[in-house]
Amino acid sequence: MESVLIFKAIFILVVFGITLLTATYSTLAERKVAGFLQDRLGPDRAGPYGLLQPLADAVKMFFKEEFIPSSANKWLFIAGPSLAMLTALMTSAVVPFGDSIIWDGQEFKLQGMEINIGILYVFGIVSLGVYGIMVGGWASNNKFSLLGAIRAASQNISYELAMGLSIIAIMMMTGSLDLNAVVKGQAGFHGMAWNVFYQPLACIIFIVCAFAECNRTPFDLPECETELVGGYHTEYSSMKLGLYLFSEYTNMFVSSAVISILFFGGYNFPGQDLLPFSHNVITIIGAAVFFGKILFFIFFFMWVRWTLPRFRYDQLMGLGWKSLLPLAIVNVMITGAVILLTGK
Amino acid sequence: MADKLFYFLTFLALLSALMVVFSRNPIHSVLYLILTFFTLSGHYVLLNAQFIAAVNIIVYAGAIMVLFLFVVMFLNLRSETQEKTSILSKVASVTAAGLLMVVLVAALKDVNLGTVQATPDFDSQVGMVEQLGKVLFSKFLLPFELASVLFLAAMVGAVMLGRREPGEQNTF
């Protein structure tokens, strides 16, 4: 029992570190990918291949003037970015990063928190993510910030519904709310029975909603600079702005992990039951494959950002309520009918 | 351990609930209400009802309170612009709250606060999702379906109220 607790404590620290490290280098990757897609080099001055750029950015952020507008609500102004970062980091607690390591006859699951309502936990934290933006936007006491906050709130509410309904189809197939059970359910066909092949529509709806919940282009209306100056973070400077920007990358990492788990097999990889290795080696390869999937989806987030233009606000609402929500409901009904007819 | 957590959560719940009422700023009230929902979810977890805890967070803290905050932000009420309440409404609210207190005291004054003995047939898994789903779709099927119909009616009503009449222009 005690060794499990020690393992969990170390594991949670490692996950925390990896989340932050990936988010740090996502900022560099974003600019590199942007450079690649626009046929230019991107940042390459700080260190070899620009690898020290995130460090340079952080130093710049820390040395900027710390500024709080005189008419702002001081406590909530500070609480805003803190909440954004807090909710971004909380989700990874239930993500299963791998199967389990068997050491000395004891099984250690590579998952921070083994609760049987993992999907609901993720969904609950995602729905709280908007508070950081709303509180910060309102506390700035600036019309542009307020508009950004209000946009974020209505966008979050609208896309949450379709997101939840698309997950329901997965829950019906798996018969469990446990994220580890969802991954285990995709282990068939030598590790290739991924949900994306059974639920392509749910997958597309979920990914679109994940973009909207992360406030990524083409859904970055809350910080739409052509209309709202800087959106909800207009009044922010220094590391408080840094936390807002950083929480976006953390959210991207976590969303990529959740997309991989729900639809792309999590730590399952093709041919995993054919390899002549021990359980532990398979687990480590699986965890590595899982990180590969996460990195691919982070790249996908960036790819879309530098390819698609931003939606207009009424188009955004129309897409959410008039296309994604009915499609998700139809998807749930079809899934139910198929499960009823085939009886599995 | 669990009883210490219970007292801590109860203290937080009562404190944040009182702050909802006493805050001069409506935004602060809404934020304290969110905190209250969190402490209530903590109580649900202590009662081994994880599903209700999670759903409480998703529905109340995650959706309804976002809409509350949304509306309060739109109105942009400030403490200095608070409108004066008349004596009549003050008297009416004090009377109503006092009556409620009398009813609560009458209902709870004979409650036995002794320790509850766990019976042999007590199932600690009763609050889990599987158990809840089974009960909800067998024993309580009719109330469950009736509640769904009620929700549907409410949704249709909301759409009817919010719908733009033919020929009506958007006013903002």
What's the pLDDT tens digit per position in A191-217? Answer: 777 888 888 888 899 999 888 888 777
Q: Does B19 touch chain A (CB under 8 A)?
A: no
CB-nearest to A120 from B54, B69, B74 is: B54
Q: For helices A200-213 and A325-342, give the axis angle rounded to 10 degrees.
A: 150
pLDDT at B172 over 70: no
Q: What region does B58 belong to: left with phi over 0, alpha with psi -120 to 50, or beta?
A: alpha
Interval A270-317: pLDDT, tens: 877 777 778 788 888 888 888 899 999 999 988 888 888 887 778 888
Query: How far B61 CA lies from chain A's nearest CA (Å)?
Result: 7
Top-confidence residue, A72 or A254 = A254
- Kindly identify which residue of chain A lies nearest to residue B66, measuring between CA atoms: A153
Q: In whole angstroms, give the CA distance from residue A173 to residue A196.
A: 12
Cβ neighbors of B157 (< 8 A, separation 6 or more) are none
CB-nearest to B57 from A76, A124, A154 is: A124
CB-nearest to B66 from A121, A138, A157 is: A157
- The token pair at A301 is 């987030």
Top-confidence residue, B127 or A323 = A323
Highest CATH level, class, for B1-78:
mainly alpha
- The token pair at B83 is 């409108």
Q: Does B75 touch chain A (CB under 8 A)?
A: no
Average pLDDT, chain B: 83
pLDDT score, position B99: 94
pLDDT score, position A9: 86
Average pLDDT, chain A: 84
Top-confidence residue, A258 or A313 = A258
Q: What residues of A are in the B interface, CB distance below 8 Å?
A: 73, 76, 115-117, 120-121, 123-124, 126-128, 130-131, 134-135, 138, 146, 149-150, 153-154, 156-157, 160, 177
Which H helix or E strand runs over A99?
strand A96-103
Determine the 3-state secondary structure of A111 from DSSP. Answer: strand
pLDDT score, position A274: 77
pLDDT at B12 over 80: yes
pLDDT score, position A277: 77
Which H helix or E strand runs over A110?
strand A106-111
Query: How far A117 CA lies from chain B's nearest CA (Å)?
Result: 7
Q: In whole angstroms, give the CA distance from residue A270 to residue A188.
A: 10
Which chain B residues contact residue A157 at CB under 8 A?
A: 63, 66-67, 70
Which chain A residues contact residue B76 at CB under 8 A?
A: 146
Tell me which residue has tokens 């390459």. Answer: A44
Spatial contact of A311 and A123, defined as CB atoms under 8 Å apart = no
pLDDT score, position A186: 82
Query: How far A287 CA lies from chain B's nearest CA (Å)?
Result: 28
Which chain B residues contact residue A134 at CB under 8 A?
A: 66, 69-70, 73
Which range (A27-31, A111-115, B166-170) has the least confidence? Answer: B166-170
Spatial contact of B20 and B72, defined as CB atoms under 8 Å apart = no
pLDDT at B170 over 80: no
| Amino acid identity for residue A80 in this structure | G
CA proximity to A171, closest of B138, B133, B155, B41: B133
pLDDT at B74 over 60: yes
Q: In whole angstroms, give the CA distance from residue B89 to residue A296.
A: 61
Query: How far B84 CA lies from chain A's nearest CA (Å)?
Result: 24
pLDDT score, position A344: 62
Percent of chain A with pLDDT over 90: 2
pLDDT score, position B150: 94
Provide mean pLDDT across the span A18-42.
87
How far does chain B reach from its first CA to its final CA, in angstroms? 55
| Amino acid identity for residue B25 in this structure | N
pLDDT band for position B82 (cuts 50, 70, 90): low
- Kindly identify which residue of chain B lies nearest to residue A178, measuring between CA atoms: B129
pLDDT at B79 over 60: no
Q: Does B12 touch chain A (CB under 8 A)?
A: no
pLDDT score, position B118: 66
Strand partners, A108: A101
- Counted across chains A and B, CB pairs separated by less than 8 A come out at 66
- The token pair at B87 is 């004596």
Query: How far A103 CA lies from chain B's nearest CA (Å)?
Result: 30
3-class SS letters over A22-37: HHHHHHHHHHHHHHHH
Provide mean pLDDT across the span B136-149.
89
Q: Does B45 touch chain A (CB under 8 A)?
A: no
Which range (A93-97, A277-281, A319-323, B110-114) has the least confidence? Answer: B110-114
pTM: 0.85
Query: How far A196 CA lies from chain B's nearest CA (Å)?
Result: 25
Identity of the highest mean pLDDT range in A114-123, A264-273, B20-29, B30-39: B30-39
- The token pair at B51 is 């599903």
CA proximity to A217, closest of A303, A298, A159, A154: A303
**ipTM for the whole complex:** 0.80
Q: In whole angstroms, give the CA distance from residue B34 to residue B85.
A: 26
Provide mean pLDDT across the span A9-31.
88
pLDDT at A218 over 60: yes
Identity of the highest mean pLDDT range in A3-7, A68-72, B98-102: B98-102
pLDDT band for position B156 (cuts 50, 70, 90): very high
Provide mean pLDDT across the span A209-226.
77
CA atoms within 13 A on the CB side of A314: 1
Determine the 3-state secondary structure of A100 from DSSP. Answer: strand
Chain centroid to Cα A189, Å, comes to 28
Query: How far B114 CA lies from chain A's nearest CA (Å)?
Result: 32
CB-nearest to B54 from A124, A138, A149 is: A124
CA proximity to A126, closest of A254, A301, A294, A304: A254
Tell me whether residues B58 and A130 touch, CB distance under 8 A.
no
pLDDT at A54 over 90: no
Spatial contact of B54 and A124, defined as CB atoms under 8 Å apart = yes
Top-confidence residue, A61 or A229 = A61
Which chain A residues contact residue B129 at CB under 8 A?
A: 116-117, 177
In A30-166 the beta strands, taken as DSSP E runs, fall at 96-103, 106-111
Q: In whole angstroms, give the CA distance from residue A339 to residue B97.
A: 52
pLDDT score, position B169: 65
Which range (A1-5, A315-319, B135-139) has the least confidence? Answer: A1-5
Top-confidence residue, A334 or A98 = A334
- The token pair at B116 is 């509850």
Tell me whether residues A153 and B57 touch, CB distance under 8 A.
no
pLDDT at B32 over 70: yes
Interval A119-177: pLDDT, tens: 888 888 888 888 888 888 888 888 888 888 888 888 888 888 888 888 888 888 888 88
Neighbours of B26 (CB within 10 A): 19
CB-nearest to A160 from B55, B63, B129 is: B63
Tell me which residue has tokens 């606000």. Answer: A313
Cβ neighbors of B45 (< 8 A, separation 6 or more) are B53
Spatial contact of B17 and B36, defined as CB atoms under 8 Å apart = yes
**Residue A35 vs residues A32, A223, A297, A307, A316: alpha-carbon distances, Å:** 5, 22, 18, 12, 27
Tell me whether residues B27 and A138 touch, CB distance under 8 A.
yes
Identity of the highest mean pLDDT range in A27-36, A225-234, A235-244, B150-159: B150-159
Interval A181-195: pLDDT, tens: 888 888 877 777 788
pLDDT score, position B152: 92
pLDDT at B26 over 90: no
